[in-house]
Amino acid sequence: MFRYLPEQASEVAPKVDWLHHWITDLSVFFTVAICGAMLYFAVRYRKRDGVDHETPRIEGNNFLEIVWTVVPTIICVFVAYYGVVIYRDMVEVSEDPDQVVINGRGRQWAWDFQYQNGKVTTNEFVVPVNRPIRVVLTSTDVLHSFFLPAMRVKKDVVPGMYTYVSFTPVKEGEYHTFCTEYCGKDHSYMLASLKVVSQAEYDRWVNDRSAELMKASMSPAKLGAKLYYEKGCNACHSLDGSKVVGPTFLKLFGTERVFSDGSKATADENYIKNSILNPQSQIVEGYDAIPMPSFDGQINDNEITGIIEFLRGLDGSAPAPEQPEADEEKGQGEDLSALSPVERGKWVYENKLCITCHSLDGSKLVGPSFKGLYGREGELNDGSTYVANDEYIQKSIMDPASQIVKGYQPLMPPYAQQLGDEDVQGVIEYLKTLKE
Ligand code: HEC
Ligand code: HEC
Ligand SMILES: [Cu+2]
């Protein structure tokens, strides 16, 4: 009667929905029938003209008693029977040699996936259409729950134990995975996308290990240097001894650090790891104005080792590594030419670190919010005024030091080396969409 469930993208989905609709329709039918009869009798036998109407006193009716015992029993057995049959379809361990087995791991707050050939991904996984899929699940920290609404499967993800979901996708497309167990602060961001593709495309995707192989074949120090640019540490930490938002990385390793609470520590491996994962726990003296964001969950142990090796090498004896080729850095393997200018601007905002210093909701971070920025009138710290038009924005991005907005520090890094005209044009178009 009522049809409101999400798309049916797996083999079992129509069966689940069929039973679900049966239960819902039956409930609606009985609710209407029982409440309807109740209302009808209340009106029919109400007290009228101040006189009670005596009703016939019925002692019992065997026929009725049997009907309303047997009919509900049949309905309950029917629902229970198909409930068990369909549930078995969902959980039976398949012997199918064609089955794709993926290891899934929940952690605060992301989903990691590992394929049989060793390919690993985070917050996205790809499966071939029309083949049985089994995701074996476990958690590294707390209880999570793996929910794929379009496939009609859901399972608790428990630390120290394995559980699984199995399904056979029947439709190509992109679907959401949710965590449905409240697991902490960013629980609602614990989303992964599932892409169901053709067998040929799946084969291509799963065997494409180029990104990982490139990282795996790098020396740790080289990986660290790559991450320094890729993760945006370069916006706040210089390699040449100059002070940016944070302390320089030059000759940092092995020196004694003094913190704002007066305590001290040597910058060894553990200190660096802690600085990346819990930056607020030890604030370097003189740097308490702008907090460093935590990279917990965004950088794995292997990558931290890389950064440590990279910092160890920055002892001033050799020139600091250059930023990788501008083109490669810009695209990072994604096809940006397919994006509209606004999408491109949003991509730049999210991937070029603007997001760490500029909010979208009007709040002041390190820099002014982007909300309502386009076309706004403002004042610079030399007392002159400006209108944020295309030209002004372009200059703000490429050469921020030339015009400092009143009330802000000159902390924005210049982007002239990193962004092209199309990127800047994209940012401008994107800013236009962020109205007050
Ligand atoms: C938005 C600016 C910002 C970004 C981005 C940033 N940091 Fe920091 N970082 C700071 C600030 C500010 C401090 C000093 C305050 C503190 O100790 O937390 C700091 C401190 C540090 C320290 C301790 C430095 C010392 O002198 O003892 C390390 C190590 C560090 N950051 C590593 C990193 C790494 C690695 C990245 C990239 C993955 C990174 N930071 C990204 C702002 C940033
Ligand atoms: C390390 C922090 C930081 C990063 C990263 C950063 N900005 Fe800024 N930005 C600032 C600060 C601080 C100001 C205000 C001082 C000034 O005018 O330079 C500013 C000012 C601006 C302004 C002028 C704002 C106004 O109200 O007039 C624009 C436009 C801008 N930034 C764009 C960007 C874009 C686009 C990116 C990313 C490609 C970016 N910024 C990255 C810190 C940052
Ligand atoms: Cu969770």
d(CA 143, CA 187): 11
d(CA 409, CA 413): 11
d(CA 63, CA 242): 94
Judgement on whether residues 349 and 427 belong to the same structural domain of the protein: yes
d(CA 323, CA 225): 8
Judgement on whether residues 385 and 288 belong to the same structural domain of the protein: no
Judgement on whether residues 172 and 262 belong to the same structural domain of the protein: no
Judgement on whether residues 256 and 303 belong to the same structural domain of the protein: yes
Pocket of ligand 1 (CB under 6 A): 231-233, 235-237, 245-247, 252, 257, 267, 272, 275-276, 279, 282-284, 287, 290, 292-293, 295, 307, 356
The residue from 250, 285, 313 where one domain ends is 313
The residue from 261, 281, 313 where one domain ends is 313
Judgement on whether residues 107 and 80 belong to the same structural domain of the protein: no
Q: Give the number of domains in the chain.
A: 4
Give the residue, out of 234, 287, 363, 412, with the most ligand 2 atoms within 8 A of its beta carbon, to mutate for a pocket test: 412
pLDDT band at 361 (very low <50, low <70, confident <90, very high): confident
Judgement on whether residues 163 and 83 belong to the same structural domain of the protein: no
Residue 323 is assigned to a structural domain of this protein: no
Judgement on whether residues 79 and 106 belong to the same structural domain of the protein: no
Mean pLDDT to the nearest integer, 224-241: 84
Residue 1 is assigned to a structural domain of this protein: no
Cis before 22? omega within 30? no
Mean pLDDT to the nearest integer, 149-157: 93
Residue 256 is assigned to a structural domain of this protein: yes
| CA of residue 279 relative to chain centroid, distance | 22
Q: List the domain range (segments joined by +) for residue 414.
A: 329-432
Find the CATH number of the domain harbouring 239.
1.10.760.10
Mean pLDDT to the nearest integer, 218-222: 84
What residue type is assigned to position 106 of the chain?
Answer: G
Average pLDDT, the chain: 86
Judgement on whether residues 218 and 303 belong to the same structural domain of the protein: yes
What residue type is assigned to position 206 of the chain?
Answer: V
Q: Which of 101-105, 262-266, 361-365 has the lowest mean pLDDT?
A: 361-365
Atom 32 of ligand 2: nearest residue by CA position: 397
Residue 5 is assigned to a structural domain of this protein: no
Q: What is the pLDDT of residues 379-406, one digit of tens each?
A: 998 889 999 999 999 999 998 888 999 8
The residue from 313, 337, 366 where one domain ends is 313
Residue 236 is assigned to a structural domain of this protein: yes
Checking DSSP bridges between strand 120-122 and strand 100-107, what pairing results, if any?
Answer: unpaired
| Tokens standing for residue 354 | 């603007």
Judgement on whether residues 220 and 303 belong to the same structural domain of the protein: yes
Judgement on whether residues 334 and 275 belong to the same structural domain of the protein: no
Judgement on whether residues 334 and 304 belong to the same structural domain of the protein: no
Q: Which of 51-60, 64-73, 272-281, 330-339 has the lowest mean pLDDT?
A: 330-339
Least distant ligand from the CA of 434 = 2
Q: What is the pLDDT of residues 321-345, one digit of tens each?
A: 776 654 343 444 456 777 888 989 9
Judgement on whether residues 68 and 137 belong to the same structural domain of the protein: no
